């Protein structure tokens, strides 16, 4: 489904000021708020859509990127896994926007009600070959995560009666003051353990090994972190699961060197092949290809195979494969070969006569980046 324009989502024009953007979002958020639209999937989708639009447009840097590139600017960025933001992200990030005027929310933070406890995140490293990076890959990975132990039951916290908050009234010289703080018996969750099996920890959780399928888009880079929402450690009671943070590692390739989205390949050709011309098979990330090497090729020549590099993570096309020609000069020669080259020393065909097309290495590098 095509994504709607963020300005259209919030019903504002491109020139809207920061306060207009905020006002527009607040209006949409209240209209589609889950408390007002219980069990209404469409309202929930609209609520999320508005939050996403606000997340981008309320941030000057993200807004500038969006204005320039549109949705492409954020593909594979925040909303990895297709889930986008979840409701808790929205409330924890933008909860303050509802401050005053709109009452607290059931089940979420923000307005000062009960908090849903979130399980901790898991961080895993995934090693990928260049081929996997170029084509995108789905990895099945075994993870050890905390899950609610079967047989664990929870009950409403008797200290805070399930509100997650403890209110205290103190007498001060200014009069009676009411303060509330998170309940320290249940940690603000509003629930405590009723029964748990022997192998569960204090929170009623135990370690389970699970296989998680992780879709990795093409074009990722070393050190990049992807989020798989809800696949981290579970939380006790009605809390929400943490996330898995996938850290990308790139395995070095035997023949190909990556530089951004471009790839480099060093091709060695014999002296004879350089003189006579030949064809050579080279490695690419999508298999081997045969390329033609013209007769009279110079060492340092770069052959550019367009689109044979790595796809851009943002979806703007693909990089190129740059094949660097290195002419291999023989180091040992037979007597006859030596004689042959001695005779060629003064030969006019062996005399270097560089033309414009035989640019020096530095000129070529300059061209590549211009
Ligand atoms: Zn409590």
97 C-alpha to ligand 1 centroid (Å): 27
CB half-sphere exposure, 244, CA atoms < 13 A: 21
246 C-alpha to ligand 1 centroid (Å): 34
Decide which of 110 and 43 is more confident. 43
108 C-alpha to ligand 1 centroid (Å): 15
What's the pLDDT band for 71 if we cut at 50, 70, 90?
confident
Query: If DSSP codes are grouped into helix, strand and coil, which group holds residue 240?
Result: strand
182 C-alpha to ligand 1 centroid (Å): 8
Query: Is the pTM for the entire model greater than 0.75?
Result: no
By the 10 Å C-beta count (0-12 exposed, 13-18 middle, 19+ buried), 9 is classed as buried
340 C-alpha to ligand 1 centroid (Å): 94
In the structure encoding, which two tokens stand for residue 144, read together?
Answer: 């050890």
In the structure encoding, which two tokens stand for residue 78, read together?
Answer: 């925040």
Q: In sequence order, which ranges of 101-156 are alpha helices (DSSP H)?
A: 130-135
30 C-alpha to ligand 1 centroid (Å): 29
Cα gap 93→40, rounded to integer Å: 22
192 C-alpha to ligand 1 centroid (Å): 7
CB half-sphere exposure, 303, CA atoms < 13 A: 20
Cα gap 220→321, rounded to integer Å: 17
CB 105 within 8 A of CB 97: no
- Across 51-78, average pLDDT: 78
- Across 190-216, average pLDDT: 92
Residue 206 DSSP class:
E
What pLDDT, on a 0 to 100 scale, did the predictor assign at position 74?
A: 73
191 C-alpha to ligand 1 centroid (Å): 6
364 C-alpha to ligand 1 centroid (Å): 69
181 C-alpha to ligand 1 centroid (Å): 10
40 C-alpha to ligand 1 centroid (Å): 30
Give the least confident one: 4-18, 75-89, 242-256, 337-351: 75-89
184 C-alpha to ligand 1 centroid (Å): 6
For 285-306, letters b (16+ CB in 10 Å) and e give beeeeebebeeebbebbbbebe
234 C-alpha to ligand 1 centroid (Å): 19
What pLDDT, on a 0 to 100 scale, did the predictor assign at position 89?
A: 57
Q: How many other C-beta atoms are found inside a 10 Å radius of the C-beta of residue 44?
A: 16
CB 361 within 8 A of CB 303: no
Q: How many other C-beta atoms are found inside a 10 Å radius of the C-beta of residue 276?
A: 11
Is the pLDDT at 250 greater than 70? The verdict is yes
Where do we find the tokens 């320039």? 68
194 C-alpha to ligand 1 centroid (Å): 13
Where do we find the tokens 């933001």? 85
37 C-alpha to ligand 1 centroid (Å): 28
**CA torsion, ordered 180, 185, 189, 190, to nearest 10 deg:** -80
């Amino acid at each position: 489904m095509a994504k709607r324009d963020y300005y259209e989502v919030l019903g504002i024009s491109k020139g809207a000021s920061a306060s207009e953007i905020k006002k527009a979002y607040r209006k949409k958020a209240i209209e589609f708020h889950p408390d007002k639209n219980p069990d209404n999937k469409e309202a929930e989708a609209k609520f999320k859509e508005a939050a996403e639009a606000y997340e981008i447009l309320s941030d000057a840097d993200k807004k500038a990127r969006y204005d320039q590139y549109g949705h492409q600017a954020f593909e594979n960025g925040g909303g990895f896994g297709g889930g986008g933001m979840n409701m808790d992200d929205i409330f924890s990030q933008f909860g303050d926007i509802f401050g005053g005027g709109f009452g607290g929310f059931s089940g979420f933070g923000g307005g000062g009600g009960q908090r849903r406890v979130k399980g901790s995140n898991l961080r895993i490293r995934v090693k990928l070959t260049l081929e996997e990076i170029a084509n995108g890959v789905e990895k099945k990975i075994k993870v050890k995560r905390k899950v609610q132990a079967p047989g664990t039951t929870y009950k409403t916290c008797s200290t805070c009666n399930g509100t997650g908050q403890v209110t205290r009234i103190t007498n001060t010289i200014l009069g009676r003051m009411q303060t509330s703080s998170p309940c320290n018996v249940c940690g603000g969750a509003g629930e405590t353990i009723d029964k748990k099996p022997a192998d569960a920890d204090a929170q009623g959780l135990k370690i389970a090994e699970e296989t998680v399928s992780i879709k990795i888009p093409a074009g990722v880079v070393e050190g990049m972190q992807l989020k798989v929402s809800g696949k981290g450690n579970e939380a006790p009671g009605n809390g929400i699961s943490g996330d898995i943070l996938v850290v990308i590692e790139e395995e070095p390739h035997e023949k190909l060197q990556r530089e951004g989205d471009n790839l480099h390949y060093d091709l060695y050709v014999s002296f004879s092949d350089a003189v006579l011309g030949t064809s050579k098979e080279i490695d690419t990330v999508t298999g081997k290809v045969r390329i033609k090497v013209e007769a009279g090729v110079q060492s340092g020549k770069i052959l550019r195979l367009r689109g044979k590099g790595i796809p851009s993570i943002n979806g703007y096309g693909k990089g190129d494969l740059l094949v660097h020609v290195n002419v291999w000069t023989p180091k040992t020669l037979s007597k006859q070969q030596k004689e042959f080259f001695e005779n060629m020393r003064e030969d006019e065909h062996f005399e270097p006569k560089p033309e414009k097309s035989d640019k020096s290495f530095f000129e070529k590098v300059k061209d590549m980046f211009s």
